[in-house]
Amino acid sequence: MCGIIGYVGKRNAVPVLLYGLQRLEYRGYDSAGIAVIDKNGDKIIVEKQVGKIKDLQEHLWNRKIEGHTALGHTRWATHGPPTIENAHPHTSQRETISIVHNGIIENYLELKEELIKKGYRFRSETDTEVVAHLFEELYTGDLLETALKVAKKLEGAYAIGVISTYEPDKIVGIKKGSPLIVGFGKDENFIASDIPAVLEYTKDFIVLEDGEIAVVTKDNVEVYNLEGKKLEKKPLHVTWDISVAEKAGYKHFMQKEIHEQPRTIGDTITGFSSSKDEKLFEAIKDADRLYIIACGTSYHAGLVGKFWIEKFARIPVEVDYASEYRYRDRIINNRTVVMGISQSGETADTRFALLDAKKEGAKTIGLVNVVGSSLSRETDYVMYTYCGPEIGVAATKTFTAQLVTLLLFALEAGLKKGTVSKPEYKKLYDELLHIPSKVESILNNEEGIKEIAHKYMNAQDFLFLGRNINYPIALEGALKLKEISYIHAEGYPAGEMKHGPIALIDDKLPVVCVIPQDKYYEKMFSNLQEVKARKGKVVSVATEGDTKVKELSDDVIYIPPASDVLYPILTVVPLQLLSYHIATLLGKDVDQPRNLAKTVTVE
């Protein structure tokens, strides 16, 4: 999704913007641009390019633009294709005001018609351009006052950055629905869509809430609500280093993040145990039903979580795609709990579905990675994964951390309800502490997995099969592969294969079987035989030492033995590596796959 950065301060803004835009690349984009108020404060210079930040950088080479108040933007096309005209920043008719925007202005057509009647000419197909003209039309002599008027006219979800030659030492940021933070520096301040964009310059931030407007100059930051009342905001200090947002010698962020999992799983176990919210577990004790809502990979984590929560806490769980949950006639009473899982904490589908459920009387829990994100502030209770920023568009380390949190949540809730005994909890907890080193041993076989990737990289389709708690892992394996390699892949519960998908199997179809030695092993083994009998190519993810599966499979990736319930945290790791290597061998851009955005802030 679109990324915003704004700078006001002593240094030349251009390198700061370009650096920040590179840090925002992971969100997904197709064009980028900057708007800089020139040194004399009387002109806004706008430069844009379709393509990557490096294309913009090349375009700016030798242009010698200098200024101290500026905005930058990466655009993920919604209204109109990726063209220079549609790229942000957008500038008002008299070129006195420049705007960057993330989100969707739902009533833009109406506003556009009104502005056209008043003589405004539009240069782009975007919804954003109306905001630039609206600022000019409504300008009162004060940018904050004007922002309050503009915000009242806009419908939809948005984060907006504004600069103007009328007040050249100021940036105004408006937030409603899409994320926006303000970073504090010395003799300089920033606005941005997220923290990594400006982490090089500061570790102190405020996270704007919906309906807040920030007025930022080089020495001062003030925040107002939409009535113009000044607010006191408490800054947040982050402890992560910029190195977490660097590739650290790996070829891609995705590869680095896959390899970070021993640490992020360990940190999440420790983080959960040290920051347990007792009130949350009191609230869940009487729950008669738990809905888990999420999208994509987070949804798959929810599907695994259902097995654990039902097993250990004995609460009935329904898992739903947030975009579906929001628009169905769900049943909520005062004993209903709704948990939203979201790495970014900004996914519009998940946030809005949770807000609706909250309005209807449900207690809400957020499971998020990004500290201070909208979802973490909008829910009654929050649990965090402790992964630091995830830059690769394909979620990896946050998925395993979500699993760990859901398992601990289920055990803790079970303990409080009396459905899990202390020794049972302790046994699993102790075993969980060994999961990081087991993940490490899977990662040590990366070269072996790469060879398998090489063998199957030219397949047109893939089928992923699993049973019970490893069925969602089959779904996740298929999602990882399709999103970064663009190979068609389907995940299926293995027992369901005979009801349809078995017709797909022939000697060209690779079938990835997730078959650890658990309670469902024999059943899964029968499914594997069914695939083999139809000449499918079998790649198995099996428990170390399993020679029976090895004999029947074309290829095997081994994982260390574990208790049945812990297997999903292990079985997913080889599938992440398999997808990663297939995609890189095919020459795909794994960190920024086509059409995808890391943070999906539109419905």
Give the active site residues: 2, 598
How near is the Cβ of 479 to ligand F6R at its closest, in Å?
6
**Which CB, 111 or 394, lies closer to ligand F6R?**
394
**Which C-beta is closer to ligand F6R: that of 347 or that of 584?**
347
Alpha helices per DSSP H over 13-97: 13-24, 53-60
What's the CA gap between 325 and 28, in Å, rounded?
Answer: 26
Please, which residue, 485 or 517, has the CB nearer to ligand F6R? 485
What CA dihedral angle connects 356, 358, 364 and 369, to 10 degrees? Answer: 50
Can you tell me whether residue 30 is helix, strand or coil? coil
Say how many residues make up the chain: 603
Query: Can you tell me the distance from the alpha carbon of 313 to that of 302, in angstroms, rounded to the nearest whole number?
Result: 15
169 close to 70: Cβ distance less than 8 angstroms: no
Burial of 362 (0-12, 13-18, 19+ CB in 10 A): buried
Q: How far is the CB of 205 from ligand F6R (least distance, A)?
A: 19
Q: How far is the CB of 22 from ligand F6R (least distance, A)?
A: 20
Cβ neighbours of 191 (radius 10 Å): 30
Which residue number, 20 or 28, has a Cβ lying nearer to ligand F6R? 28
- Residue 312: Cβ-neighbour burial (10 angstroms; 0-12, 13-18, 19+): buried
CB of 393 to ligand F6R, least distance (A): 6
- Closest distance to ligand F6R from the beta carbon of 462 (Å): 16
CB count, 10 Å around CB of 543? 20
Closest distance to ligand F6R from the beta carbon of 301 (Å): 9
Angle separating helix axes 422-432 and 397-417, nearest 10 degrees: 170
Report the relative pairing of strands 461-466 and 510-515 from DSSP bridges.
parallel
What does the binding site for ligand F6R look like in residue numbers (CB under 6 A)? Answer: 295-298, 342-344, 347, 350, 394-395, 479, 483, 600
Pairing of strands 212-216, 171-176: antiparallel
Q: Which is nearer to ligand F6R, 184 or 325 (CB)?
A: 325
Task: CB nearer to ligand F6R: give 126 or 601.
Answer: 601
